[in-house]
Amino acid sequence: ELFEKKNYELRIAGGAVRDLLSGMTPQDIDFATTATPSEMKEMFTSAGVRLINNKGEKHGTITARLHEQNFEITTLRIDVVTDGRHAEVEFTTDWEKDAERRDLTVNSMFLGLDGMLYDFFNGYEDLKNKKIRFVGKASERIQEDYLRILRYFRFYGRIAEDPGDHEPTTLQAIKENAKGLAGISGERIWVELKKILLGNHVNHLVQLMYELDIAQYIGLPLDGNLEEFARVTKNIQNLSPKPMTVLTALFKVKDDVTNLDLRLKISKEEKNLGLFLVKHRQELTKAAGPEPLRPYQDFIMDSREANTNSKIYELLKYQGEEHLLREIQQWTVPSFPVSGHDLRKMGVSSGKEIGAALQQLRDEWKKSGYHMDKEELLSCLKKL
């Protein structure tokens, strides 16, 4: 209503339009408008609408807060200068010009609030046919922001039906511009890469990253273990793994994790998970016999770290052990029933002796599969 009153055009833009046309509820809704940032500020301020102070203004974005929600509204714009990382923009009132500078056809549509679709590059056709294409010439779009190479992969994994359904010219443009990813910050790459790792066709897309010479520029090992990756991505499909769990399949040695961290600045938790999986994926496996979970349970019981459980869950996903994963998620870590206080009551007085006795009892308790209770353990101590 505010925009209409002032005769500014306002439409929903980009990802939200794509989601609505796919029958999904968009996570956040961005708008595009013919109003400039200063016109918007004036309009919102006089209407008493709160503005969230953000740094988007020089790119043309104003964030308004209404009904406990933030809405980003961006002035239509044309890129004047781009260096492959960021662009200098000038404002326009031409909707097609704005659509032209967006990355993929499925992300370049606008939706009027009356339900009218504005689609200059056949984005709706592509969405219905599950085709991922750049707007205009692929190489030009990529050179405006090299991160678009990874966005291409991400949306391919989200929308395309079959692996391998790429336009040859697109793959060629990606290969020729792969090196541009070297100049993109690790944090931005990691955000995209994580989404690719959790999408469809991940095995196909990562193999493609190696074929198109992208891997080396985004922190992946030069000789990634693609066979292991293919095996693990098959195992893990319906187990909701963490991105790092999937990615670790490429790594042969723990230096691969360290190098990834140097390039992408992953979180400490992600790094630790990668190192844990590289170290234990081969030796820590299920036991033969009636208690297949025992090695994992023993590992958790012996560990002094807080989040060992979740690391073990990821290890079981990596190994494709779906039923064991379900079992261990229902297992409650038992607590050791004997304390130093119990031993003092039995007349063990020196701290050193208490420590040694507790350790012996812990070993007995572990051998019993954590079933012995306090009485049994203490009578066991008398024998010892």
| The CATH number of the domain covering residues in 239-333 | 1.10.3090.10
The 8-class DSSP code of residue 287 comes to: P
Q: Rounded to an integer, what distance in angstroms lies between the CA atom of residue 346 and that of residue 283?
A: 40
Contact 62, 37 (CB under 8 A): yes
Contacts of 168 (CB under 8 A, 6+ apart): none
Domain boundaries, the chain: 1-125, 137-218, 239-333, 340-382
Please report which confidence band the pLDDT of residue 350 belongs to, taking 50, 70 and 90 as the band edges.
confident
Please tell me the chain's helix, strand, coil percentages from 3-state DSSP, rounded to the nearest 5: 55, 10, 35
The answer to whether 313 touches 240, Cβ cutoff 8 Å, is: no
CATH class of segment(s) 137-218: mainly alpha
| The predicted structure's pLDDT at residue 375 | 79
| Cα distance between residue 285 and residue 319, in whole Å | 8
CB 133 within 8 A of CB 95: no
- pLDDT beyond 70 at 209: yes
CA distance 281 to 144: 41
The per-residue pLDDT for 373 is 81
Residue 58 has what pLDDT?
73
Q: Of 198, 191, 270, which is closest to residue 238 (Cα–Cα)?
A: 198
User: In angstroms, rounded to a whole number, what is the distance separating the alpha carbons of residues 89 and 82?
Assistant: 9
Dihedral, 90, 93, 99, 102 alpha carbons, nearest 10: 20
Residue 383 pLDDT more than 70?
no
- H-helix or E-strand spanning residue 297: helix 294-302
Round to whole Å and give the CA distance between 95 and 90: 13
The larger pLDDT score, comparing residue 179 to residue 382, is at 179
3-state secondary structure of 190: helix
pLDDT score at 361: 84
Domains 1-125 and 137-218 share a fold: no
User: DSSP secondary structure string, 317-369?
Assistant: HHTT-HHHHHHHHHPPPP-----HHHHHHTT---HHHHHHHHHHHHHHHHHTT
Q: How far apart are CA 162 and CA 182, in angstroms?
A: 29
Q: Is the pLDDT of residue 384 over 70?
A: no
In 3D, which of 56, 68, 5 has the Cα closest to residue 31? 56
Res 212 pLDDT > 90: yes
Q: Which one-letter DSSP state was computed for residue 115?
A: S
pLDDT attached to residue 335: 81
DSSP state of 213: T
Q: Which residue has the higher pLDDT, 298 or 252?
A: 252
Across 74-78, 159-163, 326-330, 368-372, least confident range:
368-372
The mean per-residue pLDDT over the stretch 307-315 comes to 93
Distance CA 371, CA 374 (A): 10
Higher-scoring residue by pLDDT: 81, 253: 253
236 has which bridge partners?
none
247-284 pLDDT, tens digit each? 999 999 999 999 999 999 999 999 999 999 999 999 99
- Look at residue 84 in the predicted model and tell me its pLDDT: 63
- In 171-199, which positions are buried (b, 16+ CB within 10 angstroms) versus exposed (e)? eebbeebbebbeebebebbbebbbbbbbb
Which one has a higher pLDDT value, 88 or 138?
Answer: 138
Residue 119, SS3 per DSSP: coil
CB-based burial, 282-319: b 16+ in 10 Å, e otherwise? eebeeeeeeeebeebbeebeeeeeeebbebbbbbbbbb
Closest to 127 (Cα-Cα) out of 154, 99, 161: 161
SS3 readout for 122-147: CHHHHHHCCCCCECCCHHHHHHHECC
Cα angle 234, 327, 203 (rounded to 5 degrees) comes to 10
Strand 69-75 to strand 30-33: parallel, antiparallel, or no bridges (unpaired)?
parallel
Which secondary structure element, helix H or strand E, spans residue 69, and what is its range? strand 69-75
Distance CA 237, CA 246 (A): 10
**CATH code given to domain 1-125:** 3.30.460.10
DSSP class of 279: H
Does residue 79 have a pLDDT over 80? Answer: no
Amino acid at 297: Q
Q: In this prediction, what percent of the chain has a pLDDT beyond 90?
A: 67
* Residue 228 pLDDT > 80: yes
What's residue 352's pLDDT?
79
> Best-predicted range by mean pLDDT among 71-85, 171-185, 367-381?
171-185
